[in-house]
């Protein structure tokens, strides 16, 4: 699992610091996990990683299946759409609400033209 966490962080293009901040760990904690120094990853950390980054829990635990739970496997999304959704999951709830407001405004503007 340690290698998959590093792979996930790399795919998300996050530093150990940013990845750790998102799940309540220090960059040292993430470094220890990725290097294998920390052998046991808590259930709480696993659940936070899955929820925060929309990660497929089975993939994180076993390496089986697709890394991302909800949309990564969808063939109808472009790479850009997948990247946007991935980054959206990294935002806190206030930032997500701001993005929603912007998108709704753009949608309304588009429909009025």
Chain segment 72-81, per-residue pLDDT in tens: 566 778 889 8
- Read off φ and ψ for residue 106, nearest 5 degrees: -65, -40
pLDDT at 61 over 80: yes
pLDDT for the residue 70: 62
Chain segment 36-59, per-residue pLDDT in tens: 998 788 999 999 999 888 888 999
| 112 touches 44 (CB < 8 A) | no
Q: What is the mean pLDDT of residues 62-66?
A: 88
| 39 touches 58 (CB < 8 A) | no
Interatomic CA distance for residues 106 and 31, integer angstroms: 40
pLDDT for the residue 86: 76
Q: If you average pLDDT over every residue of the chain, what do you get?
A: 87
How many domains does the chain divide into? 1
Three-class SS of residue 68? strand
Q: What is the CATH number of the domain that holds 10?
A: 1.10.260.40
Instruction: Kindly state the helix (H) or strand (E) to which residue 13 belongs, with its residue range.
Output: none
How many CB atoms within 10 Å of residue 25?
21
pLDDT at 71 over 70: no
End-to-end CA distance of the chain: 50
pLDDT for the residue 45: 92
Question: Which one has a higher pLDDT value, 104 or 72?
Answer: 104
Q: What is the mean pLDDT of residues 17-30?
A: 93
Interatomic CA distance for residues 35 and 41, integer angstroms: 12
Domain region containing 28:
2-112
């Amino acid at each position: 699992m340690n290698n998959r966490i590093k792979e996930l962080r790399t795919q998300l293009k996050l530093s150990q610091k940013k990845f750790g901040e998102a799940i309540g760990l220090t960059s040292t904690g993430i470094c220890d996990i990725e290097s294998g120094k920390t052998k046991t990853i808590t259930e709480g950390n696993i659940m936070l990683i899955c929820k925060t980054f929309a990660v497929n829990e089975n993939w994180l635990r076993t390496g089986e299946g697709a890394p991302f739970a909800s949309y990564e496997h969808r063939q109808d999304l472009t790479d850009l759409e997948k990247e946007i959704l991935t980054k959206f999951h990294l935002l806190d709830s206030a930032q997500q609400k701001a993005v929603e407001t912007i998108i709704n405004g753009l949608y309304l503007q588009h429909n009025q033209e």
